[in-house]
Amino acid sequence: MSEGSRCTTEFRELISGYIDGDLNADERQRLLAHMAACADCRHTLESYRQIGGQVRSLPRAIPPPELREAIHAATVHSNRRRVYFISSRLGYSVAAIAAVVLLFVVAIYLLVNGYQRSIDPEVVASNPGNGVLWPLSRPIEIKFNKEMDRESVESALSIAPASERDRLSRTWNGNTLILGENQTLRSDTSYTIRITTGAQDKWGRSLDSDFRLQFASSDTFALQTPEPLPTAIPTLSPTAVPTATPSDEPQQPTATSNEVAPPPSTEEPGEPSESPTEAPGDPTAPPDDVVEPPPAEDPDPTATTEPPVDEPEPSPTATEQPTSTPEPTWTPRPIPTETPTEQPATATPTEPAPTATPDTIPVVGPFGNVFWSNELVQERLGAPIANATTISGVELDFQHGAMFSRSDSSQTYVLESSTGAWSVVSSSPDSTESEPAPDPDTWIPGGNIGALWSAESWIQSALGYALAPSGAVFDSRVQTFENGTMLMSASGQVYILYADGTWELYPDPGA
């Protein structure tokens, strides 16, 4: 008997029993072990599930009129004569009982309805939970504690990757919002779902705080139950290891330290580097040099450990090693230091800070809808320092984040979903051709974003593969604030890039 026929005859019945929950522990373990190595049986399972979902979604069948009349004649009409024999007193008793029951039902309804009106709406459960791996074939369910105004909930919903908000269907089952029913999630992709306080119940009461859900999808059959989300993102390219080229300024020899943040390492090595050149052959010179720097650099105690590393002077080899990185300045994860050109242009010394209020520079449109409806966003962003402008943008979603390129500043933002951090790099003038990636429905990106992705191994490791062949070119909007920037996504959602290096995606509540 062939392997294919063995799977068909021996395991198909077990698959059906697995879906119905009729297998014992031994049968279930045997089936799971087989499916972990058999793609055909996994496909059969998903087919059965899809058929079940389609059957459940069919409209309820209405019996034909002649069948209803036949049942009515066989039941109600046959017992009509008995009704005539019921005494009038008994009839009055039945009517009284029915009236009491009706009043009781109305009272219960009013009581429950009043209680439902009084409580605050909130999300009481979600499938999946926060920080788990979730099978591709299972939809996302978000359950509320009461009946909601469904239109307001869907308007307050944002999904990252941003393109998934338009792709995934939105249906309801009572108080439960279902995303992607009878659909498949993206393979090995980090999802972030947010429902803001713009969501209301049917009486107009809003959520007290934003609901936020983060999880990752998985196509591994064994992960049918929630498991902890890995903290490290798998490296897609072996070349991701040479991220130990942390020098932001190649001329500084002490920049070869691997785990030191770029800002302190570029300022402190300047003074200790002069002492070895003055007395290279004097064995007593290093102790003197170690004692002198601490008074000048008290904030950084690691400065005492750097001079011994610099004595062999490994800087020439360190600056020549990262030849695969075209821009060694950005080889480590770049730290967003308010790169938007609008901020340096603000004449803060000449104009006092209190005058830069939201009343001076308007925040309107989608930016205003998000800004004025969320006090936390107002607090974190501060006052606007420039009017919103229209730019040409290119946006591309990835498995674990997104890239957004600005034509006006030749900068590209790298947005990581797993860490919630963003970085900025110089846009690439080159362009590459896209091609399918090893993961299903993913791509090695093309265009200018693809050239930058291919040149920077740390971006590949952080974001994974693209969810489309190339980025979407569109007319975006941008506005700069005291502590960050707002960007309009191609899907109509709003990116907020805070000055502390974190980012968020919000829906446009006025859309």
Q: What percent of the chain has pLDDT over 70?
A: 66
Query: Which of 254, 244, 147, 246 has the alpha carbon at shortest distance from 205?
Result: 147
- 273 or 164: which leads in pLDDT: 164
Three-state DSSP state, 393: strand
Structural domains of the chain in order of their starting residue, each with its CATH number: 1-36 (no CATH), 123-218 (2.60.40.3710), 353-506 (no CATH)
Give phi and psi for 192, each to the nearest 5: -130, 120
Query: Which of 393, 385, 408, 387 has the alpha carbon at shortest distance from 499?
Result: 385
Beta bridge partners of 144: 123
The pLDDT of residue 5: 53
pLDDT confidence band for 92 (50 / 70 / 90): low
The pLDDT of residue 360: 82
Residue 502: is its pLDDT beyond 80?
yes
CB atoms within 10 A of CB 135: 18
**What confidence tens digit (pLDDT) does each residue in 181-196 have?**
989 999 899 999 999 9
Summarize the confidence of residues 441-469 as an average pLDDT.
95
Q: Which long-range contacts (CB under 8 A, 24 or more apart) does 445-450 make?
A: 445/396, 445/469, 445/470, 445/471, 446/470, 447/394, 447/471, 448/394, 448/405, 449/394, 449/396, 449/403, 449/405, 449/412
pLDDT confidence band for 29 (50 / 70 / 90): confident
Summarize the confidence of residues 227-239 as an average pLDDT.
41
Using CA atoms, how far apart are residues 478 and 148, in angstroms rounded to an integer?
A: 33
Helix (H) / strand (E) containing 27: helix 25-35
Global pTM reads 0.54
Residue 509: is its pLDDT beyond 80?
yes
- 218 or 6: which leads in pLDDT: 218
Provide the pairing of β-strand 211-218 with 133-135: parallel
pLDDT confidence band for 89 (50 / 70 / 90): low
- 170 or 271: which leads in pLDDT: 170
Contact 394, 447 (CB under 8 A): yes
Three-state DSSP state, 61: coil
Residue 235: is its pLDDT beyond 90?
no
The pLDDT of residue 487: 96
**What confidence tens digit (pLDDT) does each residue in 332-365 have?**
455 555 444 444 444 444 444 444 444 589 999 9
Contact 300, 264 (CB under 8 A): yes
- 89 or 263: which leads in pLDDT: 89
The pLDDT of residue 336: 54
Contact 366, 511 (CB under 8 A): yes
Summarize the confidence of residues 55-64 as an average pLDDT.
77
Contact 423, 338 (CB under 8 A): no
